[in-house]
């Protein structure tokens, strides 16, 4: 039985610029095909929770999505915090890096990677 979920049900989306940057990073770092992009949360940060975004291998409890051609791993328990979130890539003078637009966040920190629910 496959644990891959149709992208129509994927809890997060990526902008076009985020997709381009993720493919670029995967190529530059020569990430193996068995790795996917881990999207999740962890305790800590200024507001109580931090976003997790990085290439990793699939772990027990993960669901697998294919979003815009990117293999994405997310632990089932993290979906309630991230449902509807959009990941973007900013490459400007004021900010550079991935940004998170999360409709579930009650507040966010100035760092942009920490939030509370």
pLDDT for position 62: 94
Does residue 23 lie in a domain region?
yes
pLDDT for position 52: 92
Is residue 36 predicted with pLDDT exceeding 80?
yes
Does residue 61 lie in a domain region?
yes
CATH number, residue 62:
2.60.300.12
Does residue 88 lie in a domain region?
yes
How large is the average pLDDT for residues 1-11? 60
Does residue 106 lie in a domain region?
no
Write out the residue range of the structural domain in which residue 88 sits: 12-101
Does residue 74 lie in a domain region?
yes
Q: How far apart are CA 19 and CA 17, in angstroms?
A: 5
How many domains is the chain partitioned into structurally?
A: 1
Tell me the CA distances in angstroms from 1 to 5, 7, 28, 31, 114, one per residue in order: 11, 17, 33, 26, 35
Among 40-44, 49-53, 62-66, 91-95, which range has the highest average pLDDT? 62-66
| Pairing status of strand 62-67 against strand 4-5 | parallel
Does residue 56 lie in a domain region?
yes
Q: What is the pLDDT of residues 15-29, one digit of tens each?
A: 999 999 999 999 999
pLDDT for position 92: 78
* DSSP codes of every residue in 29-61: TT--TTEEEEEEEEE-SSSSEEEEEEEEE--TT
């Amino acid at each position: 039985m496959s644990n891959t979920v149709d992208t129509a049900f994927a809890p997060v989306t990526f902008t076009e610029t985020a997709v381009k940057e993720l493919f670029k990073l995967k190529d530059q770092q020569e990430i193996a095909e068995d790795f996917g992009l881990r999207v999740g949360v962890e305790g800590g940060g200024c507001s109580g929770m931090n976003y997790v975004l990085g290439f990793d291998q699939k772990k027990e409890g993960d669901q697998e999505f294919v979003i815009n051609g990117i293999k994405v791993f997310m632990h089932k328990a993290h979906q309630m915090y991230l449902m509807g979130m959009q990941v973007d890539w900013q490459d400007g003078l004021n900010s550079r890096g991935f940004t998170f637009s999360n409709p579930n966040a009650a507040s966010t920190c100035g760092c942009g990677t920490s939030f509370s629910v």
